Amino acid sequence: MRAVVQRVSEARVSVSGQVVGQIGAGLVILVCAMPDDTAETARALAAKIAKMRILADPDGKMNLSLLQTGGGALVVSQFTLAADTRRGNRPGFSAAAPPDLGRALYREFAAALRALGMPTETGRFGADMQVSLTNDGPITIWLDSDG
């Protein structure tokens, strides 16, 4: 799986003008499943992100994890993280998992965060979503699991 993690002071995702998920301080996590990913891959990536020490401590240093702060997670599916831009001007997305697998692993990833006790909101898989956020820092980190 691939993920882009952004530390935010607030974020929301809307579909057709209606807010379907929103958080205050925490992390926006854009995720993309790859064809060889499994439920274990999704759970392992969720655990890694939950423990990443990228949130500010009382001294303003990146020293706390989402698990420690109790902040929220807003999980948004984004198959475009699998973009292949090596040839031409139009990205290819064949490296992304097929939709049924992608949906299942997206749900597994969000469920794994919830199972860790994190308040977790989601977008809507496969929908045309509008994501609005205030990046805090800015802190943006890209992760790629080994499948």
- Residues with a catalytic annotation lie at 78-80
Which residues have C-beta within 8 Å of that of residue 111, sequence separation ≥ 6?
none
Helix (H, G, I), strand (E, B), or coil: what is residue 106? helix
Alpha-carbon distance 74 to 104, whole Å? 17
Closest CA to 23 of 86, 70, 85, 80: 70
Q: Are the beta carbons of 65 and 116 closer than 8 angstroms?
A: no
Closest CA to 116 of 33, 42, 19, 8: 42
